[in-house]
Amino acid sequence: MPLPVQVFNFQGAVEPMQIDADPQEDQQNAPDINYVVENPTLDLEQFASSYSGLMRIERLQFIAEHCPQLRAEALKMALSFVQRTFNVDVYEEIHRRLTDATRKKALLKLEKLDTDLKNYKGNSIKESIRRGHDDLGDHYLDCGDLSNALKCYSRARDYCTSAKHVSVYLQNWSHVHSYVSKAESTPEIAEQRGERDSQNQSVLTKLKCAAGLAELASRKYKPAAKCFLQASFDHCDFPELLSPSNVAVYGGMCALATFDRQELQKNIISSSSFKLFLELEPQVRDIIFKFYESKYASCLKLLDEMKILYARDVDQRGHTFQKSVHMGKEFQRRAKAMILRAAVLRNQIHVKSPPREGSQGELTTANSQTTRMSSTM
């Protein structure tokens, strides 16, 4: 009895050598699932600590893609992890996505602040309009757009400490002088200049430090020193502009470069207020005291050491130290000349006129001349 013949269809069968098919074909054919998770309750740090290596980075990228609220934080964590590897392609991809997310977030905030300002103008509330300009200026400053930040601050009021700070960032020193002059001439500052009000002293200290920076940038060292010396140590708390240590260095070096001994004694050494600044920079204090005590070698040595430390300072540019070193060397030269003159007078040394045609000048004392004259007679 003949066996029945079974016919098989091998048309769709996979060849033995085609088992390892390209996985990208399956990925391309898979549907793109795009969904967004709102109001997540995920602890991102704990979640990331459950993975390591490339899997941690991929998980964080997945969260950044589907969870807008955690996108920035997830990308920052992924960026910090990928920086420990040599995966340049992934680093560039994460960095690009983080930049795009930050830019989008900044634009959304800018639109909101601009809309709020338009509403304030529609309601004609002056204080709200001023606050809206300030908020918009703060946002531009946070984005690094200093020009637009300065415009917003300038529209807020005729003078503004924030506008002064931005002018310092832009190194627009004429604007700094203008804002300081306007602020000091206002009735609130002018009437309370002699009072010890904490807020008033803080504003005055800001103004004097900003004016000192402007004078220093213009290489007007003596006015700069006088401005820094008027700063109050207890109210010098504005790290967005400069630190108390900067006040000590700038004020001390400018005073050293331009003050005479009496001014140094009165305004620096005997000043109870500026001594508090100098306590933060003992090297500057030692330089001033060495200079006042005529210990010029030690003073110049300390100045050279400080010049190395502050050579790349953004505000000083090194020229303040050059001026101070020049003054120290000049005083040292004068001191040597005075010592030599005192020795000449003490020993009664007479200097003959310059020699003529081959003759040699000589230094003789009065006693030797008397002895020589008596021997010839």
Most confident of 13-17, 222-226, 308-312: 222-226
Model confidence at 174: pLDDT above 50: yes
Model confidence at 216: pLDDT above 70: yes
For residue 165, tell me if it sits in a domain.
no
For residue 109, tell me if it sits in a domain.
no
With cut-offs at 50, 70 and 90, classify the pLDDT of residue 17.
Answer: very low
Whether residues 202 and 345 share a domain: the answer is: yes
Model confidence at 101: pLDDT above 60: yes
Distance of CA 168 to the CA centre of its chain: 10
Listed residues 73, 103, 133: the one ending a domain: 103
Domain count, the chain: 2
The pair of structure tokens assigned to 363 is: 């230094």
For residue 241, tell me if it sits in a domain.
yes
The pLDDT value recorded for residue 365 is 47
The pLDDT value recorded for residue 43 is 84
Whether residues 210 and 323 share a domain: the answer is: yes
- Residue 69's domain comprises 34-103
Listed residues 68, 103, 138: the one ending a domain: 103
For residue 117, tell me if it sits in a domain.
no
Backbone dihedral region of 364: left (phi > 0), alpha (psi from -120 to 50 degrees) or beta? Answer: beta
For residue 123, tell me if it sits in a domain.
no
Q: Which of 21-30, 219-228, 334-343 has the lowest mean pLDDT?
A: 21-30
**225-267 pLDDT per residue, tens:** 999 999 999 988 888 778 899 899 889 988 988 888 889 999 9
Query: Which residues are CB-contacts of 325 (< 8 A; sequence separation ≥ 6)?
Result: 300, 303, 304, 307
Listed residues 103, 127, 158: the one ending a domain: 103
pTM of the entire structure?
0.57
Whether residues 343 and 202 share a domain: the answer is: yes
Query: Which residues are CB-contacts of 60 (< 8 A; sequence separation ≥ 6)?
Result: 44, 48, 74, 75, 77, 78, 81
With cut-offs at 50, 70 and 90, classify the pLDDT of residue 202.
Answer: confident
pLDDT averaged over every residue in the chain = 74
For residue 359, tell me if it sits in a domain.
no
